Structure 1
Amino acid sequence: MYLRWVDKEQQKAHLSIGWEVVVATPGRLIELVAEQALDVSMVSNVVLDEADRMLEMGFWTDVQRIIQSLPEQRQTLLFSATFPQALEDKAKTLLSSPVFIEAQKEAKNEGAIEEILYLVNKGSKAKALIDQITRNDWSQVLVFIGAKDNADALCKKLSKAGLSAAALHGNKNQAEREATLESFKQQKVRVLIATDLLARGIHVESLPVVINFELPSNPETYVHRIGRTARAGQQGVAVSLVCHGETEYLDAIRKTTSREFVLKELGGFPVTDKPSTGENKRAPRDKQANRRTQRKKSIKQFQGKNKRS
């Protein structure tokens, strides 16, 4: 049985019939156990999939609550695409004498993905994105963005520019997600804007290009993002639109991938933004003026002295 964010009462009815395997999101599982709709006292095996994502997204407290409700005698399996130190430390608290198995990494063609990074103003990213899609005439474009609200806003801008676009993020229910992804796969939607929440679940055959509208804060996420293109030995393009505020993220990606990643200029989009120096832009006397304003007690104090006529 698959437990996700759909009608809970319907799920309770299915659970009352009986089950052998339950696949669930942490939040919904905790709710059903708390409401005694799901008895986990006889669970013999528990699988934690996408463990690194659950840790990164702040679900680990929920995972711990679930584990505490299970029998001590059980087999626990943890699967993860990456295994950072933070996850290793957490795993040690859940697993007893674990066996670590690392699957052989796929041999990647060094030139399979052409990675291009453009330095652009933060406020010019939407226009630069539209320019790249229309200029290169890409038939399918997967765009990654950080926040779901930003995904919807960008989707509206692309639609206004005449590009068929759709957003895929956590606020969409499962039926909407499946319908949106299917429309993209069938090329009824040209541009799919997705958050990292769904990055690993997206598989599109012969996807020509991936665009990072915003760089991810986690460098390993960058690798997962661009891995949506150039699959099964094919060629692909990964374009990143980078502003000065993302310098730290870019440095982390360079370190993780051991690649230089030279930033290029994008024709028609001159960079006028300046790198942050870390200094406060307000002049000292402006600060003093602000403090004097805050000390005003009456509106009369803001009025200048009237000259006698």
Structure 2
Amino acid sequence: MDRWQGMQVFVRVAESGGFAGAARALNMSPPAVTRAVAALEARIGARLLIRTTRRVALTEAGARYLEDCRRILAEIEEAEATAAGAMATPTGTLTVTAPVQFGRLYVLPVIGEYLDRHPAVAARALFLDRVIDLVEEGADVALRIGDLPDSGLSAIRVGGVRSVVCAAPVYLERHGTPREPGDLSHHTIIGRSDRATVAEWRFGPDRRRAVAVRPRLVCNTIDGALAAALDGRGIVRLLSYQVAPALAEGRLVRLFEAQEGPPMPVHVVSPEGRRAPAKVRAFVELAVERLRADPRVNPQAG
């Protein structure tokens, strides 16, 4: 087995957390995988993995070598893809992940336009209200809301969204309109959580003012909390993009707008940046253009 293949095996073992998983993924026998890693360690002269009965873990040298292997293998794949034309023409399957409602409202239309433009590409929409590891889940592009941790991912900011307190006009007619956040203690609150506990809503440009609220109704989904608010069941706090259609239609009224906290950034994230294949670069360019032009995602566009 040559050095390039040995690197592939090592990377797969590290990502799978074991020799058996790597063997299945590579269609090799576990002994062959073990021999390949041992040969690589012998060639390098350093131990890369710590073996236990259940899984393997990277040594310090192994962690550094894993990063180098990923970079080298990516460069080899890029060279091969360039020769085959994949870097020039979008082909293959593109996987895009985003929060559920954001994906449905704002990302799905972009995917539809992208597919119209590039008939040689198929798309997979992975809409989840949790952050996933792009490499482990096999995703090409992610839409992320909130501050990003330091990582090797390429990120382009396309806008920002705020936490918005709102209620239906029928609720405000029945119970009055709160004038400032402290008035919330006298109103019915709809909680957006899976735990029926006291919630703390923060206000102001520095988010230092904390107001404790006791939800009377708690919904574990955004759609549930939004539906309850539209039905006049109470005051809810959701992200601005989640309530934008209802606010535009007058079905909800925005409260305390002057006391809202700073916006949370929205980024288009991909793991390969400029070295990404054409299918990824084409989607990122389109998504950035469309989302930056949407005032519901990027208020400055309005």
Q: Give TM-score, length-normalised by structure 2.
A: 0.24
Which structure is higher in strand share?
2
Greater RCO (Cα-Cα under 8 Å, separation 6 or more): 2
Q: Between Structure 1 and Structure 2, which shows a larger proportion of helix residues?
A: 2
